[in-house]
Structure 1
Amino acid sequence: MPSASRPVEPRRKPRQVRAELTRDRILTAAAHVFTEHGYAAGTTNRIAEQARVSIGSLYQYFPNKDAILAELMVRHIDRGAWHQADELDLSPGTLEAVVRALVRDAVDNHRDDPRLLRIMLEEGQVSTELRETIVRHGERRVAEVRDLFARHPDVRVRDLDAAAELIVFTVEINTHRLAAFPQGLAIETVESELVDMVTRYLRG
């Protein structure tokens, strides 16, 4: 694990398009390097070479690779907004389909790069921005899920606030674990079991 004393706050937030493009190139290169070489061997020199920037330019934006990984985690979380929630059919008898849409969305958000996700979970340190992003995303996701199930006629739980928190936590932690550390279970199997479990719970 990286040392907890190392800074993980980015040094510079770009204000110009060119600087933002350079920062994006560094982050894209870092994701590639970490995936290909692993975190220990994914040095800032390798990242700079992959991004085709000087090591000095990289350090203008990030003090070290821990800060780069923290920013990749921020982007991963922010990418997980649930955009299809307002399009779902909430008529009687559709609860299982609604739950499946929720679970499928979480699964799809973690399919792309399981090795990078594993590095994030094993090596990532929590920057201030990452902490704020986790809180913001969690609050938004819980509010979305609560609102959705509050409008569904088939939901019969006693405490909808607690139910929304539990459902979001259960789905997120299981999809993260399965994507990063597959243990022989097919993703389709876990998805179906999660759907069955959450649907039965919501029906009371």
Structure 2
Amino acid sequence: MPSADRRSEPRRKPRQVRAELTRQRILTAAAHVFAEHGYAAGTTNRIAERARVSIGSLYQYFPNKGAILAELAVQHIDRGAWTDADELDLSPGTLEATVRALVRDAIDNHSDNPQLLRVMLEETPLSPELLDTIDRHGKLRIAQVRDLIVRHPDIRVGDPDVAAEIILFTVEMNTHKFMAAQPTIPVEALEDELVAMVAGYLHGKS
């Protein structure tokens, strides 16, 4: 795992409601600024102005814009929890629908702000909190996919642990890159092709 960049750690998170609201206002403003101006031009002065706080107040919460972007990435990952995994129909003949639910969930989690997603993919420093979040989220998603593999009667793979990692990497990486690139082909085409590829693999088709 890459080493953590401790320069991008946020200041201590506030306990008071008012202070937390100010912190969230800064993060919301930063999301707009990074999406509109990019990372290089998305200065802390611009973020503070958009959030309507002084630059000194901003620095009470974040030491630099890298820490702000890292915190936005943490929130992005935490919002991507697959909360509907336990509600899927795993009866015979439902494999394609099960895979489609996985792919659609990944697409939905990355469709809100493609410009910000691109900045996060290209520029986010790996703060300790972000690395912990990536690790925690990855383990949870792998466990969810492995559970589907083990329980679904139509799946034929040799090693459920390896298969779960392959599927998650394939879906997440392709979805990230596709949504951030703002492609001209429709997102439905990506969904259909990923579903066909993953379902075929899980069926044991060559």
- Please, what TM-score do these two structures have when normalized by structure 2? 0.94
Aligned to 1:34: 34
Write the mapping of 1:60-99 to structure 2, written as runs, cut at 5 A: 60-99=60-99
Q: How far off is 1:6 after superposition? A: 8.1
CA RMSD of aligned residues (A): 1.3
Q: How many residues align?
A: 201
Partners of 2:29 and 2:91 lie apart in 1 by 46
Partners of 2:148 and 2:19 lie apart in 1 by 40
Partners of 1:12 and 1:29 lie apart in 2 by 19
Partners of 1:6 and 1:185 lie apart in 2 by 39
Partners of 1:5 and 1:137 lie apart in 2 by 19
Asked if structure 1 preserves the Cα contact closer than 8 Å seen for 2:90 and 2:151, the reply is: yes
Asked if structure 1 preserves the Cα contact closer than 8 Å seen for 2:90 and 2:152, the reply is: yes
> Is residue 129 of structure 1 aligned with residue 129 of structure 2?
yes
Given the superposition, is the C-alpha separation of residues 154 and 5 from structure 1 closer, same or farther in structure 2, using an over 3 Å criterion?
Answer: closer
Aligned to 2:178: 178
Asked if structure 1 preserves the Cα contact closer than 8 Å seen for 2:5 and 2:128, the reply is: no
Residue type of the partner of 2:178?
A: L
Residue type of the partner of 2:61?
A: Y
- Please, what TM-score do these two structures have when normalized by structure 1? 0.95
Structure 1 runs not aligned, ≥5 long: none
Secondary structure in structure 2 of the residue aligned to 1:119: helix
Aligned to 2:156: 156
Partners of 1:63 and 1:130 lie apart in 2 by 16
Partners of 2:180 and 2:190 lie apart in 1 by 14
Residue type of the partner of 2:79?
A: R
Secondary structure in structure 1 of the residue aligned to 2:93: coil
Residue type of the partner of 1:190?
A: L
Secondary structure in structure 1 of the residue aligned to 2:100: helix
Q: How far off is 1:149 after superposition? A: 2.0
Secondary structure in structure 1 of the residue aligned to 2:83: coil
Asked if structure 1 preserves the Cα contact closer than 8 Å seen for 2:5 and 2:125, the reply is: no
Structure 2 runs not aligned, ≥5 long: none
Residue type of the partner of 1:124?
A: T
> Is residue 194 of structure 1 aligned with residue 197 of structure 2?
no
Post-superposition Cα deviations, 1:178-197, rounded to whole Å, max 9, x if no partner, equal 00113433211111011011
Q: How far off is 1:5 after superposition? A: 7.5
Post-superposition Cα deviations, 1:129-168, rounded to whole Å, max 9, x if no partner, equal 0001001000000001111221111011111110000000
Partners of 2:7 and 2:83 lie apart in 1 by 34
Q: How far off is 1:40 after superposition? A: 1.4
Partners of 2:108 and 2:150 lie apart in 1 by 25
Q: Could you tell me the percent identity over the aligned residues?
A: 73
Partners of 1:148 and 1:15 lie apart in 2 by 39
Aligned to 1:57: 57
